[in-house]
Amino acid sequence: MSDSSKPIVLGQPTVGEEELAAVAEVFRSGWLAGAGPTCRKFEERFATAVGTQHALATSNCGTALFLGLKVLGVQPGDEVIVGDYTFPASGHAVLQAGATPVFADIRPDIWSADPASIEALITPKTVGILAVDVFGQPGDFDEYRAIADQHGLWLFEDAACSAGATYKTRPAGSLADLAAFSFHGRKGITAGEGGALVSDREDLIAHARKLHTYGIEPAFSREGSDELPIPSFHELGYNFRMSDVQAAIMNVQLDRLPNLLSVRRSAAKTYHEGFASLDGVEVPVALPDREHPWQAYVLTIAPEISRDKVALRLRERGIGCNFGTYASHVQPIYGQRQQLPVSADAFKRHLAIPMHSNLTEDEVGRVVEAVTEVVTELS
């Protein structure tokens, strides 16, 4: 198969011999289980990378979100305002904690929660705001913080896609009371799965650390005791730990992060330039006061052109693509009757095209050519 006919995948991790060597080192150590010494090393490094005092490695971002809500004290009957345009893990975590997600409509340019929509949804039952960094670009956190402080609410950053992003020079993850990250295979840095909960508040992370190990201190915390440590269980906990094998991979991925971001940003620049004069599509907006990590590159297809037809024809040409993400309020599980027109429109018109750190200049050029041909045919 020639390079010109080889399929171009939508997303792909960047891993290699360095990750294998790190895993081999963990194998030799004998500690493969969760929350061990390699996890602690990763937690320390990740907290530094995202500008927080503390980090807790978790099994995935969904468990990080759930743990964060639990340690923030979310109870049945509470309402949590959630940015609507997001993978349903955000809303699911609120349901799992026993509360009700109330979805806020989004900005039409960067697709994060519109502060005015958040403000309009606050009721006496509202306890907090779960603000999503859509495709990695942080939302309006100064405005979110002002709203939260005015109404006595907590602020939680869903930073699932945001490793390496910044908002007004501050790293994503440091913008709220808590933040949750994902290390799924489609994310900028990955161990296949995994997540992290970060905060400057030691009390929140300490509580989450106990909850993520069945309600007791992890075994590594009890190493070196001069007595036989027998923990007691005082509250219901869970097994939400990251294994040390995954943590070894994540340590290497942290080393790779600057280069991975550079490749993605270069690809995004080429896409911007390639689509600048193409009628029928709008390129995503990267605001000048924040750094976009380009976890995904999402085009907005003109309403008179079928997004689905564009996607199917691109796939016929070997170009990986998919819808952007979900308008949560239209998902049956939530039983919502809200009308959120901006998010609903994005859900219908967005198209994600290949974006990962293994893309070559030739592949990016082939994607631009294919999208241009298909959109022109369907216009």
Q: What is the pLDDT along the chain (379 residues), one digit of tens a residue?
A: 346 779 999 999 999 999 999 999 999 999 999 999 999 999 999 999 999 999 999 999 999 999 999 999 999 999 999 999 999 999 999 999 999 999 999 999 999 999 999 999 999 999 999 999 999 999 999 999 999 999 999 999 999 999 999 999 999 999 999 999 999 999 999 999 999 999 999 999 999 999 999 999 877 766 667 788 788 899 999 999 999 999 999 999 999 999 999 999 999 999 999 999 999 999 999 999 999 999 999 999 999 999 999 999 999 999 999 999 999 999 999 997 789 999 999 999 999 999 999 999 999 999 999 999 999 999 9
Amino acid at 128: G
Q: Is the alpha carbon torsion for 263, 264, 266, 271 positive or negative?
A: positive
Give 41-49 contacts, CB < 8 A, sequence gap 24+. Answer: 41/247, 41/251, 42/242, 42/247, 42/250, 42/251, 42/254, 43/196, 45/251, 45/254, 46/181, 46/196, 46/198, 46/250, 46/254, 47/198, 49/163, 49/171, 49/254, 49/257
In 3D, which of 74, 70, 168, 151 has the Cα closest to residue 115? 151
Q: Rounded to whole angstroms, how far apart are CA atoms 171 and 181?
A: 12
**Contacts of residue 124, Cβ cutoff 8 Å, sequence gap at least 6:** none
Q: For the residues of 129-148, what is the DSSP string, one character each?
A: EEEE-GGG----HHHHHHHH
Nearest-angstrom CA–CA distance, 113 and 130? 9
CB neighbour list of residue 218: distance below 8 Å, 6 or more residues apart: 34, 35, 36, 209, 241
Show Cβ contacts of residue 104 under 8 Å, excluding neighbours closer than 6 positions: 81, 82, 83, 84, 113, 114, 117, 118, 121, 340
- Using an 8 Å Cβ cutoff, are 86 and 328 in contact? yes
Q: Give the pLDDT confidence score for residue 238 in this predicted structure.
A: 97
Res 1: pLDDT: 38
β-pair type (166-167, 290-291)? antiparallel
- Alpha-carbon dihedral of residues 77, 80, 86, 87, nearest 10 degrees? -40
Neighbours of 111 (CB within 10 A): 28
Which residue reads 């990695």 in tokens? 136
Q: Name the superfamily (CATH) of residues 257-378.
A: Aspartate Aminotransferase, domain 1 (3.90.1150.10)
What is the pTM assigned to this prediction?
0.95
Provide the 8-state DSSP code for 56: E
Burial, 364: exposed, middle or buried (Cβ in 10 Å; 0-12, 13-18, 19+)?
Answer: buried
The maximal CA–CA distance of the chain, rounded, in angstroms, is: 75
With beta carbons less than 8 A apart as the criterion, state whether 118 and 126 touch. Answer: no
- One-letter amino acid for residue 43 of the chain: E
The string over 52-81, giving b where at least 16 C-beta atoms fall within 10 Å of a residue's C-beta and e elsewhere, is bebbbbbbbbbbbbbbbbbbbebeeebbbb
CA dist 307 and 303 (Å) reads 8
Asked if 22 and 368 count as a contact pair (C-beta separation under 8 A), the reply is no
Q: Does residue 71 contact residue 211 with C-beta atoms inside 8 Å?
A: yes
Contact 231, 217 (CB under 8 A): yes
Q: Please tell me the predicted confidence (pLDDT) of residue 106.
A: 98
**Active-site residue flag, 187:** yes
Question: How much is the pLDDT for 222?
Answer: 65
Architecture of domain 17-254: 3-Layer(aba) Sandwich (3.40)
Domain with CATH 3.90.1150.10 in the chain: 257-378
CA distances from 151 to 54, 73, 83, 163, 205 (A): 26, 17, 18, 29, 24
The active-site residue out of 70, 125, 187, 210 is 187
Single-letter code of the amino acid located at 232: S
**Contact in structure between 372 and 314 (CB atoms under 8 Å):** no
The token duo for 324 is 């952007």
